[in-house]
Chain A
C-alpha cells in the first residue's frame, strides 16, 4: 500500500481509461472515482509518515542506464503537504465541473496533469523533476485552449511558449549541473553537494529563478497570467491557481535555494524586492478590476508574491509560512473561482457592476463565500491568518521594510476582497439575478469541504506545520547563507 509509485500510476491509468469514454455522465463518475481513489491512496502516506527530516517511502530505479539517470521519488515534510494538496483538490475540481457535460477527454487531461504535478512534488532527481514539470504543462494547455473562452488560442499559445522557454533555461542549468557532478548524476543530493564557484551560482540562480518566476508568476514575468486565468474554463483556472503555481514555489524551496545559495545571497534582495513590489502592484490592480475572475487572478499574484518572499527570506517562519500558505491559497482560490463560476452560470455575467444583493436570495452561498473570503484575507481563526502571520514574521526578520510593504497585502487584500463581496452579495438585487437559486448538492459539498478546511487549519495549523517542521529545520541547517 505504501508504494509511492501507485500514486503516479492511478492517475495515468485513469487518464488512459477516460480517453475512451465518450459518455459525459459515465466519464465524470469514473473521473470522480479515480480522483477519490487516488486521494484514498495518499492517506496511508500521511498516516505512515514520521515527521522527521528524513526522506521516506523512497523508490528508485535506473532509468537511462548509459547516462546514469535515475527515476527517484520520495516524500519528505515539504513534499507531503503538496501531495496532499494536489490529491485533495483534484476530487473537488472534478466535482466542480459536474454540471458541464464534458466528455472523457476533459477528465483524462486533468488526471494526466495530476500525474505530472505529483511527479514534480515527489521527484528527488532533477531529470524526473523536469519530466514532471513539462508533463504538467501539456494537459493544462489543452484544457485552457479547448474549453476556454475569448481569445483562447492566442492567450494560451503565449502561456505555453512563455513557460516553455523558462523551463528550457532550467533544462540547460540542470544539464550543466549534471556535467559538474563527479559521477554524472541528476540526484538532488549530488546537486546540493556540488562545490560551485560564486560566479557560477549567480547565473544558475537567474536561470532557475526565471523558470520558476514565470510559473509562479513573480512580477515582471506575470503578463501571461491574468489573461490565461480569466479565459480558462473554471476547472482549468482552479488547476492553474490552486496547484500548478505551487510547482514554482516548490521549485524555489527544493531546487533554487539549496543548489545556488551563494547566488541567492547575492541576488536574494532583488528577488525579494520583485516579490514585494508584485504584492503591492497586483493588489492595486485587483482593486480596479471589474471582472471578478480577473480580480481573483490579480489577487493570486499578490498572494503568491508574499509566499515567494517568505521563501527568499530563508528562515524558519518564512519557509513554514510559505508551505502552509501554499495549502491555504490552494484551498481558498479554488473555492473563490468556483463561487465565481457558479455566479457566472446563474447570472450570465462576471462583471461586478451587474451583480449585487445576491446574498438575500442565497444565504448558504453568501455564508461560505464570506468564510472563504475571510480565509483569503487572513482573518484570525481562518487558515490564511496563520500563514500570513508566519510569512510576515519571516519577512520582518529578513528586513523591516520588506515586511512593511509585504504587510500591505493584509490591508489591500481586505480592501479588494471586501469590495468583491460587497459588489456581488450586498446592495440592490439587479433584475438578471432575480431567479437565482442557492447552492445545493455537489456545489454545497465542494464548498463545504473547503470551508471545513479553512476553519480547521485556522484553528489547528499544526496539522500541516508539524509535518514540515523537521524537514525545514534540516534544510535550513544544511544550506546556510
Chain B
C-alpha cells in the first residue's frame, strides 16, 4: 500500500521539480523514489496477504513479486533515459512524472482485488502512455502511434468495462472473493456472466497484444520513442498479464471448460502471426514488436495451464523477456544514434566497433530465443512444462515449431553484428556510463536467472 502512495507523491514531486527548473535533480529523485518503493514492497513480503482498503487491493505474493519486477525494470528504463529525452523535448519532468504514474497504474493492476481497481489501474497506466507515445510532438509517426494507441486503447477499455458490467449484472459484485463465491456456489450461472467473461477476455487480449487483437502493437511500438517502447513492452505488458492471470487462474477456474478453448485458439493464432510476421521485418524495432506478440502467446500458456506453478513460470518468463527487451532497446538507442536507422543493417559490424554492446545484445537475443543458461530458456521450459501437465502434446509441438522460427530472426541481428561488415564508416559512439551499467546489470541478471533459476523462484 505504501508503495502506491509513495509513487503518487513521487510523481507530484517530480512535477514540482520541473516547475522550479531543477532539471538535474529529476533523475536522482526519481531513482530514490523507486528505491523507496522497492523497499516498501520488499518489507511487505512476509505480511499476511489480506485485501486492504475495503477489499480494493491485495498485496499477496503474486502482486508483490510482479510489482518488484515492474519497479526494477522501470528503474532500468529510467536510467537509460538520462541522455535520451534531452534530445527530444524540453519538458523533461513530464516524462518522468508520466512514467511514474503509469507505473502506479501497473502496480494497481498487479494488486487489484476489485474490478473497480482493475479498471482504474488500466486507465491510469494507459492514459499516461497515450501521452508518452505521442511525446515527440512534431514527429508524424509518433503522433500516428499515439492516436492509434488511444483509439484502440479506448476501444478495448470499452470491451473491458462492458464485460465487468455484465459480470456485475450476473453476480451483483465487483469484489473478487465474492465473485469467486458466486462462481462456486451459484446453482445456475447466468448467460450474462459468460458474455462478460468473453468480453473481458477480449479486452485483456487487446492490452497484452494477443492476436487477433494485436493490430495496434507493431505501429505503436514502431512509432513511439524507443525508450517508451521498451517501457510499454515490458512493464505495461507484464502488468496486464498479471491482471489476466489473477482473474482467470483463480476466480474463473471453475468455468475453464468455457474459456480455455477460446484462449487456446487465441494462443495458437498469436504464436503463428507473431513469429511469421517477425520473420519478414527489415527493421529491428518492428521485429521486436512482432516478437513481443509471439512472446505474449508463450506467456498466455501460464493462464491456460491452470496450476500452482503457473505463477512462477510467468514470473521467470516475464523477468527474462523484460530484461532482454531492455537490453535490446538500450542497444538500439545507441546504434540509432550512430547510424540514424533502426534497420538490421545498422547493426552491421557492431561487434568490431563495440564488442561489449554486441555481446550483451547477443545474450539478450539468445535469451529471447530460449537457449539454455539464459533466463529465456528457463522461462520457456517452465511454460512448456506447465502446459505439458494439463494439455496434450500437439500444442507443444506447435509452440516448438514457433520457437525454431524465432531463432531465425533473433539470430538475424547477431549475424549482422558479428559476420557482416558495415558498408559505410560509422563512428563508434560514446557509450554513456549509465547505459553500460544498465546493459551489464540486465545481462548478468539474465545469465544468473538462466543458470540458477532458484535465485528468483526461491522466494515464491
Contact = CB atoms under 8 A, between A and B. Distances in A.
Given A152-B419, A178-B385, A172 B393 contact: yes
A224 to B, nearest CB: 14
B407 interface: yes
B397 A172 contact: yes
B83 interface: no
Given A64-B453, A65-B454, A145 B404 contact: no
A194 B415 CA distance: 42
Given A161-B407, A168-B404, A175 B381 contact: yes
A153 B414 CA distance: 11
Contacts of B385: 67, 175, 178-179
Nearest to B369: A164
Contacts of B15: none
A392 B6 CA distance: 77
B419 A164 contact: no
A474 B382 CA distance: 35
A457 B453 CA distance: 45
Contact of A165 (B382, B404, B454): B404
A473 interface: no
A190 B312 CA distance: 25
Interface in B379-425: 381-382, 384-385, 388-389, 393, 396-397, 400-401, 403-404, 407-408, 411, 415, 418-420
Contacts of B371: 134, 138
Given A66-B457, A130-B372, A157-B411, A172 B400 contact: yes
A230 B419 CA distance: 18
B62 interface: no
A146 B415 CA distance: 9
Interface residues of B, number: 34
Contact of A171 (B381, B420, B452, B458): B381
B351 to A, nearest CB: 9
Interface in B439-460: 452-454, 457-458, 460
Nearest to A168: B400
A160 B371 CA distance: 12
A131 interface: yes
A267 interface: no
A284 to B, nearest CB: 32
B373 interface: yes
B372 A157 contact: no
B404 A171 contact: no
A182 to B, nearest CB: 14
A273 interface: no
B429 interface: no
B157 to A, nearest CB: 37
A146 B454 contact: no
Contacts of B393: 172, 176
A53 interface: no
A142 interface: yes
Given A65-B454, A152-B419, A168 B403 contact: yes
A104 to B, nearest CB: 12
Contacts of B373: 131, 135
A66 B315 CA distance: 14
Nearest to A62: B454
27 contacts: A64-B454, A64-B457, A66-B309, A66-B312, A66-B458, A67-B382, A67-B385, A134-B372, A135-B373, A146-B418, A152-B419, A153-B420, A161-B408, A168-B403, A168-B404, A169-B397, A169-B400, A171-B381, A171-B400, A172-B396, A172-B397, A172-B400, A175-B381, A175-B384, A175-B396, A176-B388, A179-B385
Given A63-B452, A168-B400, 12 more contacts: A66-B458, A67-B382, A130-B372, A134-B377, A138-B371, A157-B408, A161-B404, A165-B400, A175-B381, A175-B384, A179-B385, A179-B389
User: Lowest 4 A-B CB distances belong to which pairs?
Assistant: A165-B404, A131-B372, A168-B400, A134-B372
Interface of A: 63-67, 130-131, 134-135, 138, 142, 145-146, 152-153, 157, 160-161, 164-165, 168-169, 171-172, 175-176, 178-179
